[in-house]
Amino acid sequence: MLDIKFVRENPDAVRENIRKKFQDGKLPLVDKVLELDKRNREIKTEVETLRAKRKTVSKEIGKLMGQGKKDEAEKIKAEMAGDAARIDELSAEEVRVEEELLKTMMVIPNIIDPSVPIGKNDTENVELERFGEPLVPDFEIPYHTDIMESFCGIDLDSARRVAGNGFYYLVGDVARLHSGILSYARDFMVNRGFTYCVPPFMIRSNVVSGVMSFSEMDSMMYKIEGEDLYLIGTSEHSMIGRFIDQILPEESLPLALTSYSPCFRKEKGAHGIEERGVYRIHQFEKQEMIVICKPEDSMMWFDRLWHNTVDFFRSMDIPVRTLECCSGDLADLKVKSLDVEAWSPRQKKYFEVGSCSTLGDAQARRLRIRVNGKDGKKYFAHTLNNTVVAPPRMLIAFLENRLQADGTVTIPDVLKPYCGFDKLVPNSKK
């Protein structure tokens, strides 16, 4: 959410930003905000004037009563009754106007960073850099669920009977590999100076609306029936929500946190054949990284965060690339975003395994997360988030890139202590 003062003083810049995000339908919202803001300030001015008048007149009434001029005092009191009614009327209008102003402001997209490429959708995202050599072996690589099934490592049929499409059972060594990757990711981030957290897996609606846009909420979040609780789509939601309504001492920043959680997502819409199996699902687990910092440090942290994900995947010899998200592919709260994509030798292309974003002060403004500066002035913090690893999707890249011609999958040295075995062996060969 933008600062109302910024919108008031820079309406053309806000409109241009909306155009850059190809959301022209939101252009009228700028004029609506300006009108509501003007009316809100008019109300406040009139209320303040009336209250100042009432204070002055109250003193006059006191003097008249002290002088025994009760009739004159009562006459003035009667005249003041109209002002009191007007104050009540204006106060009620003020509540309505501020609610409408806030609701409208929360739909206007955040100002994107000047470095963001302009484009309508994800087809216009820009490749930045590749890490590792993307290789295609001289043997056929099966679909990822077929690889898992060769180790008796996945049961989709039972999951469909129990929960429906978009769920899975991981079994045996594949399940151990999944858990091992998460444990390695935890220690990887702790060794880089991040504090490990396990957050609540449900959050209230005021936190949901603080961390994401309304469109994201509708397409992602599962609501608990009869309660003001939502299942989290990522631990970023509850981790940022942890600081709602807090004033943080400046010397405590930055807060660099890494969190584990299950994630629950509706994943509305139809998806192609490559998104079956465990690519796009309703439930998965993830290791996340979150930073709360001073505004001047947010771009430095943005670079550090995405490098962490690249380094994590490269430590397991998985080729990756970075992709700059264009303006039309940015969620409304984001200032800048970069995807990390892993190489799929079966598909002969890259696919997303992580997303790094800086949101400026948008989340902090919505959740009222402020910093007490050394000069005593308070300001809104900046928030960032990035995926370390989401193992179900990451397993696709892992299995495809480390599959051998004999059907085995080798385990890299960094993972062996977490898995307890050196390689996955098909059941037919045991």
- Same domain assignment for residues 214 and 278: yes
In order of 104, 182, 252, 360, 394, the CA distances from 220 in angstroms are 21, 23, 33, 22, 20
Closest CA to 350 of 124, 99, 133: 133
Closest CA to 238 of 254, 262, 218, 216: 262
- The SS3 of residue 256 is strand
- Number of other CB atoms surrounding residue 250 within 10 Å: 15
What is the domain count for the chain?
A: 2
Whether 209 is covered by a domain: the verdict is: yes
- The SS3 of residue 240 is helix
Helices (H), 132-288: 144-150, 156-163, 172-190, 205-211, 214-220, 235-241
Q: Are 162 and 366 in contact (CB under 8 A)?
A: no
What is the biggest distance separating any 2 CA atoms in the chain, rounded to whole angstroms?
A: 109
Whole-prediction pTM: 0.89
Q: Provide the residue type at 188 as one letter.
A: F
Closest CA to 309 of 183, 185, 187, 393: 185
Boundary residue ending a domain (80, 105, 130): 105
- Same domain assignment for residues 165 and 307: yes
Range of the domain at 158: 122-429
- Same domain assignment for residues 209 and 331: yes
CATH of the domain at 56: 1.10.287.40
Q: Are 292 and 266 in contact (CB under 8 A)?
A: no
Boundary residue ending a domain (73, 105, 137): 105
Whether 116 is covered by a domain: the verdict is: no
Q: Provide the residue type at 12 as one letter.
A: D
- The SS3 of residue 428 is helix
- Same domain assignment for residues 190 and 287: yes
Residue-level pLDDT, tens digit, the chain, 430 residues: 899 999 999 999 999 999 999 999 999 999 999 999 999 999 999 998 888 877 777 777 677 677 777 767 667 666 677 777 888 899 999 999 999 999 999 999 999 999 999 999 999 999 999 999 999 999 999 999 999 999 999 999 999 999 988 899 999 999 999 999 999 999 999 999 999 999 999 999 999 999 987 777 777 899 999 999 999 999 999 999 999 999 999 999 999 999 999 999 987 654 543 446 888 889 999 999 999 999 999 999 999 999 999 999 999 999 999 999 999 999 999 999 999 999 999 999 999 999 999 999 999 999 999 999 988 899 999 999 999 999 888 999 999 999 999 999 999 999 999 999 999 999 887 6
Burial class of residue 218 in the structure, from the number of CB atoms within 10 Å of its CB (0-12 exposed, 13-18 middle, 19+ buried): exposed
Whether 110 is covered by a domain: the verdict is: no
In angstroms, the CA 184 to CA 398 distance is 14
3-state helix/strand/coil string of 107-126: CCCCCCCCCCCCCCCHHHCE
- Same domain assignment for residues 22 and 90: yes
- The SS3 of residue 329 is helix
Q: Are 363 and 319 in contact (CB under 8 A)?
A: no
Long-range contacts of 225-228 (CB under 8 A, 24+ apart): 228/204
Task: Report DSSP state, residue 429.
Answer: G
CATH of the domain at 338: 3.30.930.10
Q: Provide the residue type at 187 as one letter.
A: D
Q: Provide the residue type at 427 as one letter.
A: N
Boundary residue ending a domain (45, 74, 105): 105
In angstroms, the CA 388 to CA 190 distance is 12
In angstroms, the CA 425 to CA 430 distance is 7
Token pair in block for residue 307: 């490098």
Q: Provide the residue type at 118 as one letter.
A: I
In angstroms, the CA 179 to CA 286 distance is 10
- Same domain assignment for residues 295 and 174: yes
- Same domain assignment for residues 89 and 233: no
In order of 58, 186, 278, 407, the CA distances from 145 in angstroms are 80, 26, 8, 13
In angstroms, the CA 300 to CA 286 distance is 24
- Same domain assignment for residues 38 and 126: no
- Same domain assignment for residues 86 and 185: no
Whether 114 is covered by a domain: the verdict is: no
- Same domain assignment for residues 187 and 333: yes
Whether 174 is covered by a domain: the verdict is: yes
- The SS3 of residue 266 is coil
Whether 117 is covered by a domain: the verdict is: no
Whether 300 is covered by a domain: the verdict is: yes
The pLDDT assigned to 53 comes to 79
Q: Provide the residue type at 94 as one letter.
A: E
Whether 113 is covered by a domain: the verdict is: no
In angstroms, the CA 134 to CA 139 distance is 15
In angstroms, the CA 303 to CA 340 distance is 12
- Same domain assignment for residues 95 and 136: no
Q: Are 226 and 426 in contact (CB under 8 A)?
A: no
With b for 16 or more beta-carbon neighbours within 10 A and e for fewer, the 163-190 pattern comes to eeebbbebbebbebbbebbbebbbebbe
- Same domain assignment for residues 255 and 339: yes
